[in-house]
Amino acid sequence: MRKEACLIIALLITSAMIIPVFGLQSSQSIQSYGTISYQTHTELMYGVCGWPWTLTERDFQEAKNLGVKYLRMDFPWGAFEYYNGATFTFTEYDRFVTWAKNNDIEIIPILCNVPSWYNTGSEWKIPTGSGFSDFVTRFGNYVYRVVDHYKADIKYFEIWNEPNIVNFWNDPEGTLVWDFFNRGSSVQKYVTLLQTAYTQAKLANPNSIIISGGLAANDDIYLQQMYNYGAKGYFDLLGLHPYFKPNSPTINYDPDYVRWGVWDPHEFPKISLMKDVMEVNGDTSIDILITELGVGDGAGPEGATTEAIQARALTRVFEKLGQEFPYVIGCMWFHLRTDMENYGLLRENYIPRQMYYAYRQIIT
């Protein structure tokens, strides 16, 4: 996520609508913050999220020390093609890849962004009319160039970030629900982009694994509309960001809280609804990768959310992933290092929060 998007998310948190922004691999028995112990999947992808504008070599070293094997980060189009028609430049991001390789970390890039030279007014505002077709073609070229350049080092690629919300897919021609969730032609346009990106990525590297843009919350309606517009066959993993709210009835950030008769995608157990949609549409063999999930410091029935509450919620999330969702193959935790709403496993000054120790215990 970009800085301005993070500010928007902070506002959403205060209004009890969390739609902010991470992988796995252990067979150790884990003692929970609750009352149960369990065995994790043996192939889970444990990871974290980072922002390219704050990542340093030390961050990759810290990720290695934590025990994760994956780091999800933006690879924005404009960072490779500086101006309209410019020669693609990879030097800056080659440095990140080198740091990752030196620390046994695999980067999961988010391929996204409307370059400033498109003059739409925002890196998330989608071109309209006939300009959208040109945008998709050129986006496909960007995907091809990046996947081809990194085919020896990077396997997973995520196509856009949270295209189901207006924060990251701002389409003036689209329809909104709750003034927030994209529907209708906005979905169709994203699927068109996904189809082109998938095709170009496979041309560049047939062994690449393409993740659909991580959907904000368990938005099963958007997912069904993706299938309606032809998304099947154009992603290898479903990307998902199943954030849940701090204001559950009894405890802050409760990943067990769910109301099955109410459409509210900000309830963690509704991951199962996403898999139901996939099954109904014939994608029985496609798994889900949580490419972003975190716990902030929003207030709830327990008052202010403390570090201990955050660690409890993180631990319970991974308990549930190990027990209830065998089709979820990994989780990229948001965020490796930030003070924004206290999401970071590490503070900006690298001092660990309690979530860091909880996560490390799960991994090891």
Checking if the pLDDT of 96 tops 70, the result is: yes
Checking if the pLDDT of 64 tops 90, the result is: yes
Distance (Å) of CA 79 to CA 87, 179, 342: 11, 30, 28
Please state the pTM of the whole predicted model.
Answer: 0.90
Domains of the chain: 3-363 (3.20.20.80)
What pLDDT, in 10s, does the model give residues 325-358? 999 999 999 999 999 999 999 999 999 999 999 9
Give the total residue count for the chain.
364
* Residue the block writes with tokens 């368990």: 218
Checking if the pLDDT of 28 tops 90, the result is: no
| Predicted pLDDT at 271 | 98
Tell me 330's DSSP state.
E
pLDDT band at 3 (very low <50, low <70, confident <90, very high): very low
Share of the chain above pLDDT 70, in %: 88
| Predicted pLDDT at 42 | 56
| Predicted pLDDT at 251 | 98
Given a contact cutoff of 8 angstroms between Cβ atoms, the answer to whether 241 and 214 are in contact is: yes
Given a contact cutoff of 8 angstroms between Cβ atoms, the answer to whether 71 and 63 are in contact is: yes
